[in-house]
Amino acid sequence: MLVLVLDSATPAVTAALGRVEPAAGDRPPTIDGNPWSATILARRATVDARAHGERLAPQIDAVLGEAGAKPGDLGAIVAGIGPGPFTGLRVGLVTATALGDALGIPTYPVCTLDAFAVGRPGRVLVATDARRREIYWACYADGVRLAGPEVSKPVEVAGRAAGLGARQAVGDGALRYADQLDLPVLAEPRFPQPAAMLSLAVRRVGTGAPGEPLIPLYLRRPDTTEPVARKRAAPQ
Amino acid sequence: MTAQPLVLGIETSCDETGVGIVRGHTLLANAVASSVAEHARYGGVVPEVASRAHLEAMVPTVHRALADAEVALADIDAIAVTAGPGLAGALLVGVAAAKAYALAAGKPLYGVNHLAAHVAVDTLEHGALPEPAIALLVSGGHSSLLRVDSLADGIVPLGSTLDDAAGEAYDKVARVLGMGFPGGPAIDRAASEGSVTIAFPRGLTAARDLREHRFDFSFSGLKTAVARWVEARERAGEPVPLAEVSASFQEAVCDVLTAKAVDACRTSGITTLVIGGGVAANSRLRALAAERCARHGIDLRVPRPGLCTDNGAMVAALGSQLVAEGAAPGRLDLPTNSAMRVDVITV
Ligand SMILES: [Zn+2]
């Protein structure tokens, strides 16, 4: 089955086309032991926090084109639901939801932070940039989430991560605030990888589980103190 | 392409998630989900609250429109979406959705100007627009006078507000009078019970202002004048006559709007005036415009209130016009532009 994988929860806007099949001789199971093989056939990513709205749809078109596939060939969509900066995150989620709706195929949410922990042994802190000098973070033991996702100041995360026994950190948020986290930070990956995202949903995709709504992990309430923009004088 | 294109339009520039479907000039569906109730306690539209509501409402509103129109996505000839102007984050939700539907269904996509769509919606009620026409667009976000040589590719701005939009003035005055948000309907209602007894200022109508700002508007002075008048009453310990203040304020707004619109028609020799935007639902604006247009032989076109406020049908109506005139569709990387100029009709 062809699966579209999307994420827009970090400065990277990512689209990939994957294939999920039962594992067999030359198709190894996914790293976390599912009896399904997941392969990424094509991928595009642009690192530009302001380009999500413009780049995502052309990238979807490009990955389909590269594999010689049409939108109607897709069988499922896997989308990162964040946490992430709101505006970019919504671009990915409304795109995935509308595509799933138009094509009549299921959508499967994955936590964007979880993707960084796939196949990573030991205790790991995952952090992405939340702007306003904060990070979105979660802690994992052998790929299983122990704490998070939350949004906090890096110094607070350092304390929490130490308490949870984290030995290393990964993600662009961790790199950005490496000096405050007091942990060795992996240089890569900085952004969520489609293969890892697909593996997080491979069992749902493979078994044809019912699709789930893509509800964003905002983790912050809307800032209602910012200046009010347009106002209305119209009846509804 | 067919002369009666079937077009789906998506609008998310402010707090309404609108999806409309038209065939040529015929309205088939106009589904709107509004987040206005969520903004009421802040006294204005909070962009992030609006954007979150758009994400939740987008796909259900598309479904509602398709069901109302009794068509399938596959039947649609083109998809149009508001690319600007409007709230940046809100625009992005609608444009991303439109791209996804266009991509999935293999349909041409048009990113269009919200203001031009406010003019185009009139074609759904009154048929093809005589060109050229003058358009007055008045809402919480805009107050503009335009010359429309062609809906598809020729809109020229004549003037706009230098400060508050007309609807914004209504909201601010309603707040002064303790009437809540949005202010337009509340003031219109109160005004119907009172008469015009207070001479509030008419911005940019003095001879020296007219030289430079003949077709521009200014409502912040009016808003301040109302606030001062009310404060003076309160200081004197006298009751504030809400109906009289509302009627007098409303008269000042509608007088300036209609006088300048009619002046724009007369100086250009154009005999069609279209009024659009949420404030076009105002009863006094409609009545005064009708009276003045009749006096000067101007054909006045004002769509019904449900089409004046932001909606998807207006976007579909403009899209239909563009398809019928053979305009080139946009690409999948078309941008949003929160400050899109009115003379840019498609992106
Ligand atoms: Zn509008």
Which positions in chain A have a beta carbon within 8 angstroms of at least one beta carbon in chain B?
52-58, 60-61, 71, 86-87, 90-91, 93-99, 101-103, 216, 218, 222-224, 226, 228-236
Burial of A149 (0-12, 13-18, 19+ CB in 10 A): buried
CA distance A108 to A115: 14
Cβ distance of B96 and A95 shorter than 8 Å:
yes
pTM (two decimals): 0.94
Tell whether B189 lies on the interface with A, counting CB pairs under 8 A: no
For domain B6-121+311-324, give the CATH superfamily. ATPase, nucleotide binding domain (3.30.420.40)
List the alpha helices (DSSP H) in A44-104: 52-66, 86-103
CA angle B112, B160, B217 (to 5 degrees): 155
A64 and A14 inside one domain: yes
Query: What percent of chain B stands above pLDDT 90?
Result: 92
Cβ distance of A234 and B308 shorter than 8 Å:
yes
For residue A101, give both structure tokens.
């709706």
Tell me the pLDDT band of A225, cut-offs 50, 70 and 90. low
> Is pLDDT of B43 > 80?
no
Q: Do residues B173 and B279 make contact, with C-beta atoms less than 8 angstroms apart?
A: no
Phi-psi group of A82: left, alpha or beta (phi > 0 → left; psi -120 to 50 → alpha; rest → beta): left
Closest residue of chain A to B88, computed from CA coordinates: A87
CATH number at A122 reads 3.30.420.40
CA distance A51 to B264: 41
- In the 3-class helix/strand/coil scheme, how is B140-208 assigned residue by residue? CCCEEEEEEEECCCEEEEEEEECCCCHHHHHHHHHHHCCCCCCHHHHHHHHHCCCCCCCCCCCCCCCHH
Given A98, A216, A232, which is nearest B100 (Cβ)?
A98
What is the average per-residue pLDDT within A206-212? 95
Q: Which residues of A touch B47 (CB under 8 A)?
A: 226, 229
pLDDT 10s digits, A138-197: 999 999 999 999 999 999 999 999 999 999 999 999 999 999 999 999 999 999 999 999
The answer to whether residue A53 is domain-embedded is: yes
Tell whether B140 lies on the interface with A, counting CB pairs under 8 A: yes
Q: Which residues of B touch A218 (CB under 8 A)?
A: 52
The answer to whether residue A233 is domain-embedded is: no
> Is pLDDT of A232 > 70?
no
A108 and A196 inside one domain: yes
Neighbours of B192 (CB within 10 A): 13
Angle between helices B47-69 and B88-105 (to 10 degrees): 30
DSSP-derived 3-state class of residue B24:
coil
Mean of per-residue pLDDT scores for chain B? 95
CA distance B123 to B177: 37
A29 and A85 inside one domain: yes
Q: Which residues of B touch A235 (CB under 8 A)?
A: 182, 184-185, 278, 281, 305, 309
CA distance B114 to B18: 12
A123 and A108 inside one domain: no
pLDDT 10s digits, B210-266: 999 999 999 999 999 999 999 999 999 999 999 999 999 999 999 999 999 999 999
A124 and A11 inside one domain: no
pLDDT 10s digits, A30-41: 666 678 889 999
Q: A129 CB contacts (<8 Å, ≥6 apart)?
A: A10, A11, A85, A135, A136, A172, A173, A176
Given A102, A218, A232, which is nearest B139 (Cβ)?
A232
CA distance A82 to A114: 10
The answer to whether residue A87 is domain-embedded is: yes
Peptide bond into A192 cis (omega under 30): no
Q: Do residues A100 and A107 make contact, with C-beta atoms less than 8 angstroms apart?
A: yes
A128 and A145 inside one domain: yes
Q: Class of the B130-303 domain? A: alpha beta
Q: A46 CB contacts (<8 Å, ≥6 apart)?
A: A12, A13, A55, A59
Please determine whether the domains at B6-121+311-324 and B130-303 fall in the same fold group of CATH. yes
Mean of per-residue pLDDT scores for chain A? 92
Q: Do residues A41 and A66 make contact, with C-beta atoms less than 8 angstroms apart?
A: yes
How many residues are recorded in chain B? 347
What are B58's strand-pairing partners? none
What are B81's strand-pairing partners? B10, B111
pLDDT 10s digits, B273-315: 999 999 999 999 999 999 999 999 999 999 999 999 999 999 9
CA distance B308 to B19: 14
Say if the ipTM goes beyond 0.90.
Answer: yes
A12 and A107 inside one domain: yes
Cβ distance of A234 and B279 shorter than 8 Å:
yes
Q: Supply the DSSP symbol for B303.
A: -
Touching A: B residues 232-271, CB under 8 Å = none
Report the separation in Å between the CA atom of B85 and the middle of ligand 1, taken as the mean of its atom positions. 9
Cβ distance of B55 and A56 shorter than 8 Å:
no
Looking at the structure of chain A, the number of domains it has is 2
What residues does each domain of chain B span?
6-121+311-324, 130-303
Peptide bond into A83 cis (omega under 30): yes
Q: Work out the minimum CA distance from B314 to partner chain A, whole angstroms.
A: 16
A126 and A169 inside one domain: yes
CA distance A7 to A193: 9
A132 and A86 inside one domain: no
Domain housing A177: 113-181
For residue B168, give both structure tokens.
């914004």
Q: A65 CB contacts (<8 Å, ≥6 apart)?
A: none
